[in-house]
Amino acid sequence: MTRTLAYFGPPGTNSEAAALIYAERAGGGFDLVPLASITAVAAAVADGEADEGVVPIENSIEGAVNETLDLLIHADKPLYIRSETVLPIEHLLLAKPGTRKEDVTAIKSFPVAIAQCRAFISREYPDAAIEAALSTAAAVEAVMSRDGVAAIASRRAAEHYGAEVLASGIQDRSPNHTRFVTVAGEDHAPTGEDRTSLAFTFAHEDRPAQLVAALQEFASRSINLSKIESRPSKEKLGTYIFLVDVHGHRLDAPLAEALATIEKKCSVFRILGSYPRFREGGRSS
């Protein structure tokens, strides 16, 4: 049976490339549907209009994609990570054919992509106006009908829209990687090489060493912690939700014990999903 896989579109985005990789690794059988925002992808999955959805969650230069994190933390309907895909990112400066470098007076792109190319923009186009777009591909589509405006996007977008490449490899650092996650109504069964993401905050805000005690539950069981960060709780200033990635599946006995112990101390505790760790050239579903 054909399944629907939504992604942060339109065609030509890095999210589309990640969706194609995920669909192939999952064995195919997907209809890919581009949607205009990360929020729209999450809503389509939560409302049953798409079976799964692919969105960016983290970049090696700019860090977390906060829109994705907030949707996972605060989703009204259950939304879980069931897969991850890591994609090398090359940014190009694109414009409609015939545009010269010196013609460019404005640069348009998705804000995260602009942030990844700050040094290039400052060095080559210090006086250029910066315009935000809903996605990198949408930026290319828009500039194809405008003079003096260039877009930051992928080579795939350049080919899709017939744009001219003014510069390539313009990201501030190389390699530049973005981690994408596939969200669905349930996470993945154990594979033996898994990652679990969770979000939590404590019932007693002013009690010292609570975070250390929580992390010790992982350390004492030799569970590897691969990431920790925080996001505002959105309830009041100075309160935060911690986001943690650990190796292992939530059903593995040692990790299940650690999670149960931590949950007892929390006012908010949410497992965002257990899923196969991405391996270049490997297969996940």
Residue with tokens 């260039």: 150
* Strand arrangement, sheet containing 149-153: 129-132, 106-109, 149-153, 92-95, 164-168
Burial of 47: CB neighbours in 10 Å, binned 0-12, 13-18, 19+: exposed
Active-site residue among 30, 110, 120, 180?
Answer: 180
Residue 160 is classified by DSSP as: H
Token digits of residue 97:
């054919």
Closest CA to 4 of 181, 266, 182, 203: 182
Across-strand partners of 131? 108
Given 85, 178, 196, 201, the catalytic residue: 178
**8 catalytic residue (yes or no):** no
3-state secondary structure 17-53: HHHHHHHHHCCCCEEEEEECCHHHHHHHHHCCCCCEE
DSSP helix/strand/coil, 269: strand
C-beta separation of 218 from 163 below 8 A: no
In angstroms, rounded to a whole number, what is the distance separating the alpha carbons of residues 81 and 188?
8
Q: Is 30 one of the catalytic residues?
A: no
Q: What does the chain come to in residues?
A: 285
- Type of residue at 41: V
Main-chain dihedrals φ then ψ at residue 71, nearest 5 degrees: -65, -40
Helix 210-219 with 253-263: angle, nearest 10 deg: 170
Active site residues: 178, 180
